[in-house]
């Protein structure tokens, strides 16, 4: 021991010296002159181009502040007695929680859910549909998740694709996605079901992966595993709920993983917290004071993780070339009206998307949830009745996640899959340790989602077939009129998209969400992202290098050069207006 003491002292001095040096460097970055010099060096010697100073300035300040906080935290944990004790207790808590879990008991449930999810997306895989962002990634091999602060997605994609350049390796990413969703379903049942995993509860969790909204996520050949990882990361912290420090630490880390993969999952963590607190309160499993402390710890971890991400990791949106959503919150005076407006829009869109059978099933599940809560309560029955209604309403609102706070939010299917997790939580609660009759509506609702997944995959395949047929005809006519032998480019403007097939129109009569899930091909649309992707599809995908899209010119006075059953082409030899007929 006497021989080890000097070495330990030297190590501490070296660490202290490096910490002080790092602190000085981080503080130095905060000075304008130092920042400007670093920005110029980055632009001149690394990027070989001029860069936007304001964007790099914000990133540098964020990294500097993050470095300062990290160094201070590191010093606290290493050189103070309370810090070392906190680290020890956290490590020991994580070990204790992991030792109490029988991971072998998860194998069969995970395999069961993997088989169900695999069967559910079988028609999606068979359709081989290049879904939205897949078009650009397939042709250029670009990742670009880094632009949206999804650093983990950016990093993991290198390993999944075994290269820094993305290539089309489907259905491997989708198989990885459903594997993560299978683990997520098992863990959700494990957490909500008091560590009891049954086949009925697993089937009740199907909306996690096969809700209509997450089917859109599983349609992506490149993004799917990272979307699924964000769901899994939101559930993992609850394995450590028995140890305070371990839960707090794992919650912050897991929520940061969620933020750096896909932020749409931001509502899942609060959803589970709300139901766990409600279960403990309703049946007096724990003292009310302990339940409140757990709620406070969860809220603190959630806010801390989001603040760390917001101020130290998140990139400003204006650094992207195009933006279709904002990450800016409403100003404080407009926050409450803005949030209420987002809730209204969210509710309206969900109501418009769902078919009547789904709505009936959801209403029945909510009614049974309320009845079970009141019937099994150890508190005043009337109070439990009203509290359960509040829990359902609050959970529904939280299922939209942080999008509620954004001034310019989005309502595309992939941003709404929190609603599927909300339904899964309700269904698992309803079928757990209650009358068998309660199981029927929950499983019937999930069966409807399961069946819809087959319809959706077949709809993708049918739309792809029809779109390729229409595009083939169009490109044949264009190549006949303008073979581009002289090498000159032809500027093109499209009017109207390719309409949906009769199959999709038939499905939409009962399930309107299908028209949001299946992308239309071609046609000038208001969404700049869709314009960009459709250009990729019908020009780059079919190797039409001499045809370029131009939305800035006036094509109204062009003469008609070809009029067919499917489209009309107007052109002066240099510019073309293509009117697609329905």
pLDDT 10s digits, 185-220? 999 999 999 899 999 999 999 999 999 999 999 999
Residue 353 CB-half CA count within 13 A: 21
Does 322 score more than 50 pLDDT?
no
Do 562 and 466 share a domain, yes or no?
Answer: yes
pLDDT band at 37 (very low <50, low <70, confident <90, very high): low
Residue 201 lies in a domain: yes
Question: Both tokens of residue 42?
Answer: 């980055």
pLDDT band at 313 (very low <50, low <70, confident <90, very high): confident
CA–CA distance, 512 with 351 (Å, rounded to integer): 10
Do 57 and 167 share a domain, yes or no?
Answer: no
* Among 183, 253, 262, residue whose Cα is nearest residue 222: 262
- Is 185 exposed, middle or buried (CB count within 10 Å of its CB: 0-12, 13-18, 19+)? buried
DSSP E strands: which ranges in 393-515?
A: 490-495
How does pLDDT run across 138-195, given as a tens digit for each residue?
A: 888 888 887 778 889 988 999 999 988 899 999 999 999 999 999 999 999 999 998 9
Q: Quote the pLDDT of residue 208.
A: 97
Residue pair 63/308 in contact (Cβ under 8 Å)? The answer is no
Do 432 and 485 share a domain, yes or no?
Answer: no
Do 445 and 460 share a domain, yes or no?
Answer: no
How does pLDDT run across 332-361, given as a tens digit for each residue?
A: 888 999 999 999 999 999 999 999 999 999
Do 147 and 106 share a domain, yes or no?
Answer: yes
At 315, which helix (H) or strand (E)?
none
Q: In terms of DSSP H, where are the helices of 128-241?
A: 133-140, 151-160, 172-192, 199-204, 207-210, 212-218, 224-235
Residue 86 lies in a domain: no
Residue pair 228/181 in contact (Cβ under 8 Å)? The answer is yes
In which residue are the tokens 């962002």 written? 133
Q: Which of 6-10, 56-60, 458-462 has the highest mean pLDDT?
A: 458-462
Structural domain that includes position 25: 4-79
Average pLDDT, the chain: 85
Residue pair 522/544 in contact (Cβ under 8 Å)? The answer is no
At 549, which helix (H) or strand (E)?
strand 547-549
How does pLDDT run across 248-264, given as a tens digit for each residue?
A: 999 999 999 999 999 99
Residue 162 lies in a domain: yes
pLDDT band at 78 (very low <50, low <70, confident <90, very high): low
Do 367 and 488 share a domain, yes or no?
Answer: no
Q: Which of 237-251, 299-313, 563-577 has the highest mean pLDDT?
A: 237-251
Mean of pLDDT values over 374-401: 94
Q: Could you give the number of structural domains in the chain?
A: 3
How does pLDDT run across 553-570, given as a tens digit for each residue?
A: 778 789 999 999 999 999
490-495 and 547-549 strand pairing: parallel
How does pLDDT run across 471-523, given as a tens digit for each residue?
A: 899 889 988 888 765 667 788 888 888 899 999 999 999 999 999 999 888 75
244 vs 61, higher pLDDT: 244
Do 517 and 562 share a domain, yes or no?
Answer: yes
What's the N-to-C CA distance of the chain in angstroms? 85
Residue pair 267/108 in contact (Cβ under 8 Å)? The answer is no
Do 420 and 464 share a domain, yes or no?
Answer: no
Which of 79, 112, 130 is the endpoint of a domain?
79
Angstrom distances, CA of residue 338 to CA of 268, 392, 410, 415, 418: 22, 22, 14, 18, 20
Q: Quote the pLDDT of residue 370.
A: 95
């Amino acid at each position: 021991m006497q021989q080890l003491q000097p070495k330990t002292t030297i190590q501490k001095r070296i660490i202290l010296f490096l910490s002080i040096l790092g602190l000085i460097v981080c503080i130095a970055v905060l000075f304008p002159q130092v920042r400007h010099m670093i920005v110029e060096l980055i632009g001149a010697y690394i990027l070989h181009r001029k860069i936007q100073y304001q964007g790099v300035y914000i990133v540098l300040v964020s990294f500097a502040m993050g470095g300062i906080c990290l160094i201070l935290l590191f010093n606290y944990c290493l050189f103070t007695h309370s810090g070392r004790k906190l680290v020890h207790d956290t490590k020991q808590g994580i070990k204790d929680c992991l030792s109490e879990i029988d991971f072998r008991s998860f194998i069969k449930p995970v395999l069961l859910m993997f088989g169900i999810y695999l069967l559910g997306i079988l028609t999606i895989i068979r359709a081989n549909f290049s879904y939205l962002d897949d078009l650009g990634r397939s042709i250029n091999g670009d990742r670009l998740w880094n632009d949206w602060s999804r650093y983990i997605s950016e990093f993991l994609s290198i390993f999944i694709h075994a290269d820094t350049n993305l290539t089309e390796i489907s259905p491997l990413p989708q198989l990885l996605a459903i594997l993560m969703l299978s683990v997520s379903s098992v863990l959700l049942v494990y957490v909500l079901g008091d560590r009891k995993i049954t086949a009925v509860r697993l089937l009740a969790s199907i909306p996690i992966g096969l809700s209509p909204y997450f089917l859109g996520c599983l349609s992506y050949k490149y993004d799917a595993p990272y979307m699924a990882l964000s769901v899994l990361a939101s559930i993992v912290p609850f394995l450590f709920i028995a140890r305070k420090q371990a839960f707090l630490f794992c919650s912050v880390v897991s929520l940061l993983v969620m933020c750096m993969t896909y932020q749409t999952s931001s509502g899942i963590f609060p959803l589970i917290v709300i139901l766990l607190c409600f279960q403990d309160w309703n049946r007096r499993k724990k003292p009310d004071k302990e339940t409140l402390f757990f709620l406070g710890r969860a809220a603190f971890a959630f806010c801390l993780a989001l603040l760390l991400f917001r101020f130290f990791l998140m990139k400003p949106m204006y650094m992207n070339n195009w933006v279709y959503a904002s990450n800016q919150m409403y100003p404080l005076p407009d926050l409450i009206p803005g949030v209420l407006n987002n809730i209204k829009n969210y509710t309206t869109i969900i109501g418009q998307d769902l078919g009547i059978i789904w709505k009936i099933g959801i209403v029945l599940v909510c009614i049974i949830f309320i009845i079970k809560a009141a019937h099994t309560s150890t508190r005043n029955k009337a109070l439990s009745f009203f509290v359960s209604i509040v829990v359902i309403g609050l959970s529904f609102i939280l299922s939209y996640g942080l999008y509620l706070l954004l001034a310019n939010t989005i309502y595309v299917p992939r941003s709404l899959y929190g609603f599927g997790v909300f339904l899964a939580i309700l269904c698992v609660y309803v079928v757990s340790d209650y009358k068998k009759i309660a199981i029927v509506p929950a499983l019937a609702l999930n069966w409807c989602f399961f069946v819809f997944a087959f319809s959706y995959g077949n709809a993708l395949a049918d739309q792809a077939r029809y779109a390729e047929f229409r595009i083939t005809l169009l490109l044949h006519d264009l190549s006949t009129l303008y073979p581009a032998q002289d090498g000159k480019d032809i500027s093109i403007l499209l009017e109207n998209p390719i309409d949906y097939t009769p199959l999709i129109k038939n499905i939409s009569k009962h399930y309107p969400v299908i028209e949001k899930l299946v992308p239309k091909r071609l046609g000038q649309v208001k969404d700049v992202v869709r314009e960009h992707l459709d250009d990729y599809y019908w020009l780059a995908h079919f190797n039409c290098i001499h045809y370029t899209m131009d939305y800035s010119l006036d094509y109204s006075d062009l003469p008609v050069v070809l009029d067919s059953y499917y489209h009309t082409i107007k052109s002066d030899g240099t510019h073309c207006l293509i009117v697609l007929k329905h």
